[in-house]
Amino acid sequence: MVKCALPPAVDEGIPLAQAVAVAVAVQAAGFIMTAEEVADWLSTDRTSIYRLARGGAIPCFHIGRRVRFSRGALEQWIADGGTSPQNAA
């Protein structure tokens, strides 16, 4: 299983259902990405993205059992050279 941080809203005490609803709305706006979208954006394959997430090498979070990626966190990760993940184990 891929271990990623909860959405920040959950860490701040907002109920999970509300945090998920916000995350769904944000994803619809293009700020939250699936592994497939990240793979397309980074010109790699989905398996590599999941492997990086599983190893804690790329910032991600879970919505239920689904792994999602914040475009802003990924942009910062890339700016940092791809070496400073924001994941919590």
Question: What is the reported pLDDT for 11?
Answer: 53
**What CATH fold (topology level) applies to the domain 8-79?**
Arc Repressor Mutant, subunit A (1.10.10)
pTM over 0.85? The answer is no
Instruction: Look at residue 21 in the predicted model and tell me its pLDDT.
Output: 75
**Percent helix, strand, coil in the chain (nearest 5)?**
45, 10, 40
pLDDT in tens, the chain (89 residues): 555 555 555 556 677 777 777 767 666 666 889 999 999 999 999 999 999 999 999 999 988 889 999 998 999 999 999 875 554 43
Please state, in angstroms and rounded to a whole number, the distance separating the CA atoms of residues 71 and 28. 12
* pLDDT at position 15: 78
Separate counts of helices (H) and strands (E) for the chain: 5, 3
Output the CA angle 74-79-85, nearest 5 degrees. Answer: 50
